[in-house]
A and B are shown apart, each in its own frame.
Chain A
Amino acid sequence: MSGVTQGALVLANGEVFEGEIIGAVPSDGVAAGEVVFNTATTGYQEIVTDPSYAGQIITFTQPHVGNYGVTRLDNEAGRPFARGIVVRELARRHSNWRAEDSLAASLQRWGVPGIAGIDTRRLTRVLRDTGAMAGAFGSAPVAVLRERANREPGTSGVDLVGVVTTDKAYQVGSGRFDVVAYDFGIKSTILSCLSAIATVRVVPASTSADEVLAMKPNGVFLSNGPGDPEMVSEAPDNIRRIIDAGVPLFGICLGHQLLSRTMGARTYKLPFGHHGANHPVRNLASGTVEITSQNHNFCVDTSAIEGLIEVTHINLNDETNEGIRVRDARAFGVQYHPEAGPGPHDSRYLFARFAELMDAR
């Protein structure tokens, strides 16, 4: 049919997937990045606009994407940082009372390229078996795409936080606590959860502990963010000093990884990460299972720090760490996304827990 531009997605291992080009046209006609998949069936807008996807191309396993349109209310950040999206079927028409625009138009506006018509299940199976890997898509010849995929550095050893963090501090919310939130790529759903309990001062990732402590916060929050925690090299020092100052501290996702690294833990890259809204996590204190929203490629190995921390949550699919509490301190973190957006709200109690910690101080 007219108006359709044929294209292809090529993975670094040489696998080729044919499809049709959608979304924004990338500057040189090729979009490249680390290809990951997300298995959530709702929440495409939150996923695309989540800054943690900086440097990545997101494959949606849900075949129909864009059905209920897009609304400003569901943006997780001012603009997306994802390098592109891969879908089976992009909605031609959306339908929902909340919608303000279509996903197709929004991709153009956001500058996010995409490719549709892909056998996303085959792609997911490749990524599952081989691990997340670099890829490139566009209307360029396959040889060009392959070359670009091979040049793509991936997310290990790359500083992506610097790209997504805020330039200057700003304030949101009006709760009874004062919280300083380190922005490593913070999602707006986290901000709205924090806002319910606190006045939140969002600061750039590079803000020093001195500056933070000078604000005399009731608590400090370490946000989610993209990429390799090892690359956020100045964070552990700052976190250590905040913990030592006795300020309650809560970290989510990258924030959790940074807290763990501060305590001396190792972080490592999972083969294809956890990206979805159905991961079972056991709360070890209560024994119950929470269905969680997850989005991470890197993970904490707590074996070296078991004396210093208590493991509070584990993933029931692969037993990886999902949460810690620092012994003799008021600091805790979870690997998953209790704020959801998108995903289940089973774990929102953690924000109340943060409030309790601040109350107890």
Chain B
Amino acid sequence: MPRRNDLSSILIIGSGPIVIGQACEFDYSGTQACRVLKDEGYRVILANSNPATIMTDPDFADRTYIEPLTPEVLEGIIERERPDAVLPTLGGQTGLNLAMDLFRRGKVGVAGTPELIGANAQAIETAENRERFKEAMIEIGLSVPRSGIARDMAEARRVVDEIGLPVIIRPAYILGGRGTGIAASKEEFEHVAANGLAASPIGEILIESSIVGWKEYELEVMRDRSDNCVIICSIENLDAMGVHTGDSITVAPIQTLSDVEYQKMRSAAFACIRRVGVETGGSNVQFAVNPQTGEQVVIEMNPRVSRSSALASKATGFPIAKIAAKLAVGYTLDEIPNDITRKTPASFEPTIDYVVTKIPRWAFEKLPGTSGVLGTQMQSVGEVMAIGRTFTESVQKGLRSLEQGRLGLNADPGEANYAGIGDVELLERCAVPTSERIFHVGEAIRRGLPIQDIHTKCLYDPWFLDQFLAIIEERHSIEANRGADPHDLPKSLWRRAKRHGFSDGQIAHLIGSTEVEVRAARLDSGVRATFKTVDTCSAEFEASTPYHYSSYEDENEVRDSSRERVIILGSGPNRIGQGIEFDYCCVHASFALRDAGFETVMVNCNPETVSTDYDTSDRLYFEPLTYEDVMNVIEAETAASCGHEPKLIVTLGGQTPLKLASQLPAHLVAGTSPDSIDLAEDRERWNVLCASLSIPQPPGGTAVTFDEARAIAWRVGYPVLVRPSYVLGGRAMQIVHDEAALERAMRELARDGSLGREGGLSAERPVLVDRFLEDATEVDVDAVRDHTGEVLIGGVMEHVEEAGVHSGDSACALPPQNLPAWVVEVISSYAISLAHALGVIGLLNVQFAVLGTTVYVIEANPRASRTVPFVAKATGVPLAKVATRVMLGATLADLRAEGLLTAPVTGHVSVKEAVLPFNRFPNVDTALGPEMRSTGEVMGIDTTFGAAFVKAETAAGTILPTEGLVFLSLADKDKPAGLVVAMRLRELGLGIAATSGTADYLSHFGIEVDEIVAKVSEASDMKTTAVGLIEAGRVAFVVNTPRGSGSRSDGQAIRMAANVNRVSSVTTIEAALAAFNGLLEQRGRQVTVRSLQEYHSAVVR
């Protein structure tokens, strides 16, 4: 069945901001879908609030709406664009939920409205409604865990009496397992069930007999209109049931199922997708298997592309989203060619001749208050994937890809942390799922503890434990050469060690040498990386797509080419502070260079991204971003072009490639030199530079010890801002108000603290201690300088929150809304002179603080910043592409002549707002600070700041009140502005609740509050406090600004109560002002939607 010609325009719903459980995998799938549908000649309309995505580039759709993803907004878009169909299956859970909302409102999927393609409302309902799903599975003869549905606590208790403890509780219509938990006791049950009911948007939970400890598997299925079904990838979880699959280490293909069991599972997956009724596209079906009896049960099914399907696509080379988009518009699998072989059809099942390991990355260190224990609710913020010929090679590559200071499965300096742990405790730690568990298991095996005991604790399958044992045995044989000259080691040892995935760094650690020496000795012995190809077919057919991974085998498959090549180093796993924005930059670099005739080579290890799509660049290396692995790629690329060396781009992938820059051959680095990068990072050189340019800086200095830090604090005065060098996202950054806090901060930064794992402190990596500028306005600038010295100011962004809130967590506006024009001019000229002084060729991000009439420079980074995609969307100037071309020698004048660089579009206001993960971490204080904690961002665009800000807040999920009580609790310094907030609330007709202090203050100015509550710390009855008021559901919104220093307990309790009870809150007075000013401005006005294309062509009235 060929392309459907009855459709001409299609609306794709994106997944919105990056949140835990929904990350850039949906940019990858959405980007593929947009491309495919455009190529097929459809008019593509895209809705997504996330400006950092590739898919929201105006080139990828005919109409791109960067607007809040709410049913109302989508209705507006549908009304305006009148699409023939809506494709909801590529925008994650957000896309599905919105599609169901629109269906219920009668706006899609019913006669006279756009058709739902991919999955219809009935299929979505069958898969997502747990009761219906269970009934459907039983109907087709599949086993499911015993379970029942509850909509209130009484019902929940009846269900649990019936099926017995332990149980798993899963709320309906949630993503990433939010609100999910396990209960083994009555008490736990009461707590977890109540949480689950609250988390479900429809107030419904599934209570399921617990199959914790069973083995967990996933199959990625595709189906077309002719009912052809294929499995794209089979995945085995190393972690048994009980750990969310997004938090599990997973392996592809399945390793420990016999063909008999696998085929049974495969047939069940087909029966499942057919019964649910997903007509076309990809689905993910999860199974649990009892390891003792082989009993198989179906756990759940996602009727859409998912995180796992992104992983499956990268693991096999089969582009699930791309094919799903084609199937949605009528094609069948056999009508679509397999991209990689080009000669065979897509109606087949990929078979792979390597092992893929996915390992999640968590951010617990940024979220004090979390336990770090993994469970059925997903907590990881990113993941890495590694490919090796064997599991041992794959898992060790994966562990070093995480960039958390570990070089593989232990055998590195990081394992010193286990020395103090006794055997008994170590085994107990193996029983607790944490981010460290795999390392604990490795250590337990190294100590020779019985494998059976370890198995009993961690429940890893014995086959996997034996693989770890093989690694440990190899470790012992390497270690037997401790003290030997690496040049004396036999080739057989090198080969065996490398084939088990040992990094040069691990070998250096084990024999007492250095990574550089080990590498040299190994290369001398002739053992070097060979690159194999991911080809969907285990080499049965020739592959036309060069998607490579390293291994230590006989044959290298990299093909020769004589074109000029550029290697782009990607940004590795998503983490807080370094996410999709940098992938956007790397992908743009690749596109720009390809257009300019270069051969592009991407190196990255993040399976969620567009950069690791095999057709983004001319060649893809799915490799860890370490010195060793990147050098291997450089050498392979050099060898494949007759010794002609490639250029390297290190400034677009965030801190990951930047950290490597100083080790890599400097003459290969394109654009800004590694020395300039160092100049900006090295505090002393930087100070000299600023002084020579007469640009003011907050007073400060660098310290390695507490004494040094204290001396600086004495000199500049408290409060001081303490931050380590060479980190992103304000990692471990703190505002310190006194000496005791300074000592704590320094201890945290030293080797035994959480940052120690990332390298600790040294003269090369000191702590920066600066006077903190209270009440200053923070400003960010992104600029590009070419080799002739011309500087382009891409954007000047004014932060909404005051200095002290990390730039990644604060909202910002472009153009600036409150800065006098002359201040903007000063800022621009400072940025330009810094760009000259640093010899920047490419991007430069500078952060300023404006206090009174003084503009201070806080820091400058000659690299892509988090705001580059936002600036590009706001101004229409493709900043990352321009910068990349400039790095490779073009001038801004050239690019203007070429048409790539155009004048920025004005006439509207763009607001970026951060999206924070607090709803997953109820025990974390939601107050913002210098350490970044947001996982993603949204953008609001409109003709005024107020309207744009309200859009940004709505897009970020903040529910701004239209009626009810707003609770105000303000720090003294915020009270004057709070008065204005209170006046706005009155104008909006909203009630005010406050503590007596704030109420007294407001009444001086004639504003009487409606409800005065007791302080949490002073009240005998919590009901009389703000917490009680929130829990009673009487508060519509919370404004709570933390006091500078001292006790935070009151505010903290209020903020956490708001978080747990899903009451939106703001924690800075600036955000409150902006929000209520915006609401007032918007009052009575219809929300208007406009596409980016309209803004960029400046047709806005």
Contact residues, B191-234 vs A (CB, 8 A)? 226-228, 230, 234
B555 contact set on A, CB distance < 8 A: 119, 121-122, 125
Interface residue? B256 (CB, 8 A): yes
Q: How far is the CA of A73 from the CA of B461 in the complex (A)?
A: 22
Q: Would you call A97 and B348 a contact (CB within 8 A)?
A: no
B234 contact set on A, CB distance < 8 A: 41
Interface bin, chain B: 35 or more
Shortest Cβ distance from A295 into chain B, in angstroms? 13
Q: Would you call A63 and B389 a contact (CB within 8 A)?
A: yes
B351 contact set on A, CB distance < 8 A: 39-41, 61-62, 276-278
Identify the stretch in B76-84, B532-540, B1078-1086 within 8 Å (CB) of chain A at 4 or more residues.
B532-540
A63 contact set on B, CB distance < 8 A: 353-355, 389-390
Contact digits for B331-347, partner A, Cβ 8 Å, 1 yes 0 no = 01110000000011101
Find B256's partner among A39, A43, A68, A291 (CB 8 Å cutoff): A68
Given the known interface contacts A41-B352, A121-B532, A282-B334, the answer about A95 and B553 at a Cβ–Cβ threshold of 8 Å is no
B347 contact set on A, CB distance < 8 A: 280, 289, 291, 316
Given the known interface contacts A98-B294, A125-B555, the answer about A61 and B228 at a Cβ–Cβ threshold of 8 Å is no
Q: Would you call B354 and A39 a contact (CB within 8 A)?
A: no
Shortest Cβ distance from B1039 into chain A, in angstroms? 57
Given the known interface contacts A64-B391, A340-B263, the answer about A278 and B348 at a Cβ–Cβ threshold of 8 Å is yes
A280 contact set on B, CB distance < 8 A: 334, 344-345, 347-348
Interface residue? B418 (CB, 8 A): no
Find A342's partner among B259, B293, B350, B554 (CB 8 Å cutoff): B259
Q: How far is the CA of A18 from the CA of B226 in the complex (A)?
A: 47
Interface residue? B765 (CB, 8 A): no
Find A344's partner among B263, B334, B390, B553 (CB 8 Å cutoff): B263
Contact digits for B876-912, partner A, Cβ 8 Å, 1 yes 0 no = 0000000000000000000000000000000000000
A73 contact set on B, CB distance < 8 A: 260
Shortest Cβ distance from A53 into chain B, in angstroms? 16
Interface residue? B470 (CB, 8 A): yes
Q: Would you call B354 and A95 a contact (CB within 8 A)?
A: no
Q: Would you call B538 and A42 a contact (CB within 8 A)?
A: no
A17 contact set on B, CB distance < 8 A: 554
Given the known interface contacts A97-B294, A121-B532, the answer about A88 and B389 at a Cβ–Cβ threshold of 8 Å is yes
Interface residue? B561 (CB, 8 A): no
Q: Would you call A291 and B230 a contact (CB within 8 A)?
A: yes
Q: How far is the CA of A266 from the CA of B263 in the complex (A)?
A: 34
B542 contact set on A, CB distance < 8 A: 128
Q: Of A37, A89, A121, A124, which is in contact with the most chain B CB atoms at under 10 Å from its CB? A: A121
Interface residue? A56 (CB, 8 A): no
Interface residue? A67 (CB, 8 A): yes
Q: Would you call A121 and B539 a contact (CB within 8 A)?
A: yes
Q: How far is the CA of A216 from the CA of B591 in the complex (A)?
A: 71
A41 contact set on B, CB distance < 8 A: 234, 253-254, 351-352
Shortest Cβ distance from B529 into chain A, in angstroms? 13
Find B258's partner among A96, A119, A316 (CB 8 Å cutoff): A96
Interface residue? B267 (CB, 8 A): yes
B539 contact set on A, CB distance < 8 A: 37, 61, 121, 124-125, 128
Q: How far is the CA of A73 from the CA of B259 in the complex (A)?
A: 12
Q: Would you call A317 and B348 a contact (CB within 8 A)?
A: yes
Prevailing SS type, chain B contact patch: loop
Q: Would you call A74 and B291 a contact (CB within 8 A)?
A: no
Contact residues, B838-862 vs A (CB, 8 A)? none
Q: Would you call B259 and A46 a contact (CB within 8 A)?
A: yes
A92 contact set on B, CB distance < 8 A: 466, 470
Q: How far is the CA of A41 from the CA of B262 in the complex (A)?
A: 10
Interface residue? A343 (CB, 8 A): yes
Given the known interface contacts A63-B354, A122-B555, the answer about A74 and B267 at a Cβ–Cβ threshold of 8 Å is no
A241 contact set on B, CB distance < 8 A: none
Interface residue? A79 (CB, 8 A): no
Find A120's partner among B291, B353, B462, B477 (CB 8 Å cutoff): B353
Interface residue? B255 (CB, 8 A): yes
B332 contact set on A, CB distance < 8 A: 289
B257 contact set on A, CB distance < 8 A: 42, 68, 96
Shortest Cβ distance from A10 into chain B, in angstroms? 14
B353 contact set on A, CB distance < 8 A: 39, 61-63, 120-121, 124
Shortest Cβ distance from A17 into chain B, in angstroms? 7
Q: Would you call B538 and A124 a contact (CB within 8 A)?
A: yes
B553 contact set on A, CB distance < 8 A: 119, 121-122
Q: Would you call B259 and A42 a contact (CB within 8 A)?
A: yes
Interface residue? B1005 (CB, 8 A): no
Shortest Cβ distance from A245 into chain B, in angstroms? 36
Given the known interface contacts A43-B259, A96-B257, A343-B259, the answer about A64 and B554 at a Cβ–Cβ threshold of 8 Å is no
Q: Would you call A97 and B292 a contact (CB within 8 A)?
A: yes
Q: Would you call B256 and A96 a contact (CB within 8 A)?
A: yes
Shortest Cβ distance from A318 into chain B, in angstroms? 8
Closest to B533 in A: A121
Q: Would you call B260 and A93 a contact (CB within 8 A)?
A: no
Q: Of B227, B352, B355, B539, which is in contact with the most chain A CB atoms at under 10 Å from its CB? A: B539
Interface residue? A303 (CB, 8 A): no
Shortest Cβ distance from A121 into chain B, in angstroms? 5
Shortest Cβ distance from B316 into chain A, in angstroms? 11
Closest to B228 in A: A289
Q: How far is the CA of A340 from the CA of B349 in the complex (A)?
A: 15
Shortest Cβ distance from B604 into chain A, in angstroms? 23
Contact residues, A292-344 vs B (CB, 8 A)? 316-317, 340-344
Q: Would you call B348 and A291 a contact (CB within 8 A)?
A: yes
Q: Of A17, A282, A317, A340, which is in contact with the most chain B CB atoms at under 10 Å from its CB? A: A317
Interface residue? A261 (CB, 8 A): no
Interface residue? B463 (CB, 8 A): yes
A27 contact set on B, CB distance < 8 A: none
Contact residues, B337-378 vs A (CB, 8 A)? 343-345, 347-355
Interface residue? A269 (CB, 8 A): no
Interface residue? A1 (CB, 8 A): yes
Interface residue? B157 (CB, 8 A): no
A125 contact set on B, CB distance < 8 A: 539, 555
Q: Would you call B349 and A291 a contact (CB within 8 A)?
A: yes
B230 contact set on A, CB distance < 8 A: 291
Q: How far is the CA of A92 from the CA of B313 in the complex (A)?
A: 30
Q: How far is the CA of A45 from the CA of B259 in the complex (A)?
A: 9
Find A341's partner among B254, B259, B532 (CB 8 Å cutoff): B259
Given the known interface contacts A121-B353, A288-B227, the answer about A61 and B538 at a Cβ–Cβ threshold of 8 Å is yes
Q: Would you call A95 and B294 a contact (CB within 8 A)?
A: no
Find A288's partner among B226, B343, B349, B554 (CB 8 Å cutoff): B226
B259 contact set on A, CB distance < 8 A: 40, 42-43, 45-46, 74, 340-343
Q: Would you call B228 and A74 a contact (CB within 8 A)?
A: no
Closest to B332 in A: A289
Q: Would you call A289 and B349 a contact (CB within 8 A)?
A: no
Closest to B292 in A: A97
Interface residue? B1090 (CB, 8 A): no
A291 contact set on B, CB distance < 8 A: 230, 347-349
Given the known interface contacts A42-B259, A64-B390, A98-B260, the answer about A119 and B554 at a Cβ–Cβ threshold of 8 Å is yes
Q: How far is the CA of A279 from the CA of B350 in the complex (A)?
A: 10
Given the known interface contacts A95-B462, A276-B540, the answer about A344 and B256 at a Cβ–Cβ threshold of 8 Å is no
Find B390's partner among A88, A121, A341 (CB 8 Å cutoff): A88
Can you name 14 A-B pairs with beta carbons within 8 Å? A18-B554, A39-B538, A39-B540, A40-B351, A62-B253, A63-B354, A74-B260, A93-B463, A95-B461, A96-B257, A97-B293, A278-B537, A280-B345, A340-B259
Interface residues of A (CB under 8 A from B): 1, 17-18, 37, 39-43, 45-46, 61-64, 67-68, 71, 73-74, 88-89, 91-98, 119-122, 124-125, 128, 276-280, 282, 287-289, 291, 316-317, 340-345
Q: A39-B538, A97-B291 are in contact. List 17 more A-B contacts (CB 8 A).
A: A39-B540, A62-B253, A63-B355, A63-B390, A64-B391, A94-B463, A95-B461, A95-B462, A121-B353, A121-B532, A122-B553, A125-B555, A278-B350, A288-B227, A316-B344, A317-B541, A344-B266
Sort A-B residue pairs by CB-CB distance and give the 3 closest, nearest first.
A43-B259, A342-B259, A61-B538
